[in-house]
Amino acid sequence: MSVKAVGYYSREVYMVGKSKEEVLRKLQSEYPSFGSSNIYPEALWLEEEEECD
């Protein structure tokens, strides 16, 4: 299974990982929060994809 963080409006893929936790850790290191309410460039959602054998 792979997980992607995708932009709500642009559909741009911001981060890809093997699990939700991995994607969130990568996002946190790429876009660190400094007390701002706008942490990411746009609203994001996580999409899960099953890998086909």
Short-list 51, 19, 10, CA closest to 27: 19
Separation of alpha carbons 41 and 5, rounded Å: 12
Predicted pLDDT of residue 5: 95
3-state secondary structure of 48: strand
Predicted pLDDT of residue 3: 96
| Domains: count for the chain | 1
Give tens-digit pLDDT for 4-16.
999 999 999 999 9
Q: How many CB atoms lie within 10 A of CB 12?
A: 12
Instruction: Write the single-letter amino acid at 46.
Output: L
Predicted pLDDT of residue 47: 96
Predicted pLDDT of residue 35: 61
Give tens-digit pLDDT for 1-53.
899 999 999 999 999 999 999 999 999 888 877 666 667 888 999 999 887 66
User: Is-contact 49 17, C-beta < 8 A?
Assistant: no
Q: For residue 41, give its domain range.
A: 2-49
